[in-house]
Amino acid sequence: MFAVYADSIDAKDPLKGLVVGERPEPLVPDGWTTVTVKAASINHHDVWSLRGVGLRDESLPMILGCDAAGLDEDGNEVIVHAVISDPTWIGDETLDPRRSLLSERFQGTFAERVAVPRRNVIAKPAGLSMAEAATLPTAWLTAYRMLFTQADLQPGDAVLVQGAGGGVATAAISLAAAAGFRVYATSRDETKRARALEIGAHEVFDSQERLPVKVDAVIETVGAATWSHSIKSMRPGGTLVISGATSGDAPTHAELTRIFFQQMRVHGSTMGTRDELRRLAEFMALTGTKPLIDSVIPMEQAADGIARIAAGDVFGKIVLTR
């Protein structure tokens, strides 16, 4: 079958190991099913995989991709949940120490078909297209969990979203605005700041610019470059939720004194549960919120999309279609 996969790993030149070609049909263990992929979206995870982060040489060749929307074996429109937990695990799948994402130990979604546990398939709301639904399982689910589970914000609260433009950040801006939060967003890029206003941010700022108020929570995915600014932008008792560190994980100023003296919380967050994915899809259907899609391209052009993700040349999600 057609597939986009990693055949080798190169930390400096991630696209060097990318192959667009053919792979065997997926193996389907007991309790698993196949989904015919109609759309899949690209994430930073795919770039990290090609660099060897979370993907080992012994797992190659590995079909890339975490996100997908398509048709189940009965022809129903579905969304694939990318977190694969141990079959014996009970509770929050993201806390399973044996968990993995599609394309780490199990073949991913950039293919004609993908095999997943039956429990990892949820119904796609009729109000979302295949391309829109394919953006949800990683970036939008991560943003949903950060805002509503980890930060525990209430309507009217103020939230800062760092790094407008990336998939998680743009999702967080849209979701926060739809939920009635006051949304502040930052970016070094003037065009991206303008786009952030279009999708729901109330005010936008340069990356290190001082905010007019102290916020209740910060959605952090940039890491080292914005960490100090994030801490300084929060009120006493505020919550910083971090799910990534695209600029590095070792900030020059950790702001530990400010964190403990002002009793701030720092909360890590990774992906989300099947139930959260189901609630996210329902939230979007009920509110009419639409995922921000940068571009839709044929899966055969996956290398172009991954190159743009690696360069940071996106605002929203890049979706691959079959």
Claim to verify: residue 247 and residue 153 sit in the same structural domain? yes
Residue 152 has pLDDT above 90, yes or no: no
pLDDT of residue 172: 97
Claim to verify: residue 53 and residue 110 sit in the same structural domain? yes
- Decide if 161 is inside a domain: yes
pLDDT band (50, 70, 90) for residue 80: very high
Task: Give how many domains the chain has, as a whole number.
Answer: 2
Mean pLDDT confidence for 85-100 = 94
Q: What is the pLDDT of residues 264-278, one digit of tens each?
A: 999 999 999 999 999
pLDDT of residue 202: 98
pLDDT of residue 166: 86
Claim to verify: residue 26 and residue 43 sit in the same structural domain? yes
Mean pLDDT confidence for 134-158 = 96
| One-character DSSP codes across 96-120 | -TT-EEBTTTB--SSBSEEEEEGGG
Q: Nearest Cα to 48, choosing from 9, 87, 83?
A: 9
- Decide if 285 is inside a domain: no
pLDDT of residue 313: 86
Q: What is the pLDDT of residues 16-53, one digit of tens each?
A: 999 999 999 999 999 999 999 999 999 999 999 999 99
Q: Which residues pair with 240 in a beta bridge?
A: 218, 266
Mean pLDDT confidence for 146-157 = 95
Per-residue CA distances from 128 to 94, 167, 282, 300, 322 (Å): 25, 17, 10, 23, 17
Q: Could you tell me the CATH number of the domain that includes residue 302?
A: 3.90.180.10
pLDDT of residue 312: 86
Claim to verify: residue 176 and residue 98 sit in the same structural domain? no
Claim to verify: residue 13 and residue 104 sit in the same structural domain? yes
Q: Could you tell me the CATH number of the domain that includes residue 156?
A: 3.40.50.720
Question: Token pair of 287, please?
Answer: 């509110």
Mean pLDDT confidence for 185-196 = 95
Claim to verify: residue 88 and residue 148 sit in the same structural domain? no
Q: What is the pLDDT of residues 199-215, one digit of tens each?
A: 999 999 999 999 999 99
Q: What is the pLDDT of residues 158-176, one digit of tens each?
A: 999 999 988 899 999 999 9
Claim to verify: residue 200 and residue 225 sit in the same structural domain? yes
- Decide if 278 is inside a domain: no
Q: Nearest Cα to 67, choosing from 79, 77, 85?
A: 79
User: Mean pLDDT in the chain?
Assistant: 96
- Decide if 276 is inside a domain: no
Claim to verify: residue 155 and residue 263 sit in the same structural domain? yes
Question: Token pair of 313, please?
Answer: 């040349």
- Decide if 284 is inside a domain: no
Which H/E stretch holds residue 121?
strand 121-123
- Decide if 204 is inside a domain: yes
Mean pLDDT confidence for 299-311 = 96
Mean pLDDT confidence for 127-141 = 96
pTM above 0.75, yes or no: yes
Residue 95 has pLDDT above 90, yes or no: yes
Claim to verify: residue 60 and residue 151 sit in the same structural domain? no
Cβ–Cβ under 8 Å, residues 274 and 120: yes
Claim to verify: residue 209 and residue 90 sit in the same structural domain? no
**% pLDDT > 70, the chain:** 100
Claim to verify: residue 126 and residue 144 sit in the same structural domain? no
Domain encompassing residue 162: 139-268
Q: What is the pLDDT of residues 215-251, one digit of tens each?
A: 999 999 999 999 999 999 999 999 999 999 989 999 9
- Decide if 53 is inside a domain: yes
pLDDT of residue 115: 98
Sheet holding 182-186, edge to edge: 203-205, 182-186, 158-161, 215-220, 234-242, 265-268
Claim to verify: residue 92 and residue 165 sit in the same structural domain? no
- Decide if 298 is inside a domain: yes
pLDDT band (50, 70, 90) for residue 104: very high
